[in-house]
Amino acid sequence: MNIYNRPIQSIHQVVETRKPSTGKEIRSTGDEFSSILDQKIRETRDIKISKHAMMRLEARNISLDENQVERLKNAVDKASAKGVRDTLVVMDNVAFVVNVNARTVITAVNQSELKENVFTNIDGAVFT
């Protein structure tokens, strides 16, 4: 007997013996995936500060609160969307040179040092 001559009853038996899915497995996996995706997105938006930039921030007494860090992240996102590789971000009288691809602050300059300063090796600027 070939597969085309099987009785229909046996096909129904196979279908009936399968346990119906409640969909909970899919939802929990989907929730887990969503949680992991959100975490990875947050991680990819993080801003790193180079050792040089950290020394400049400390020497120039520049500190960033959570709001400023978020604004800096948004500025880097905007620069990235425009294809900028190295950007100057000016925010609250402080200038940051940021490598967009690495999302790393290269240096920071406060307001008193902004005057008559030349920024090189940047291909974009974001004012926030």
Mean predicted confidence (pLDDT) in 49-53 = 95
What per-residue confidence (pLDDT) applies to 4? 54
In a domain, 15, yes or no: no
Q: Can you tell me the mean pLDDT for 38-59?
A: 85
pTM recorded for the entire structure: 0.67
Which of 8-12, 76-80, 111-115 has the least mean pLDDT? Answer: 8-12
The percent of residues above 90 in pLDDT, for the chain, comes to 58
**pLDDT tier for residue 10 given thresholds of 50, 70 and 90:** very low
Q: Is residue 33, in this structure, part of any structural domain at all?
A: no
Report whether pLDDT(124) > 50. yes
- Per the domain annotation, does 62 fall within a domain? yes
The C-alpha atoms of residue 122 and residue 65 are separated, in whole angstroms, by: 25
Q: Is residue 105 part of a domain?
A: yes
Residue 80 lies in a domain: yes
C-beta contacts of 88-96 below 8 A and 24+ residues apart: 88/119, 88/122, 88/124, 88/125, 88/126, 89/125, 89/126, 89/127, 89/128, 90/125, 90/126, 90/127, 90/128, 91/127, 91/128, 92/68, 94/62, 95/119, 96/53, 96/72
Residue-number span of the structural domain to which 64 is assigned: 47-127
How many separate domains does the chain show?
Answer: 1
**In-domain check, residue 1:** no
Q: What is the pLDDT of residues 70-81, one digit of tens each?
A: 999 999 999 999
* Residue 45: band (very low, low, confident or very high) from pLDDT cuts 50, 70, 90: confident
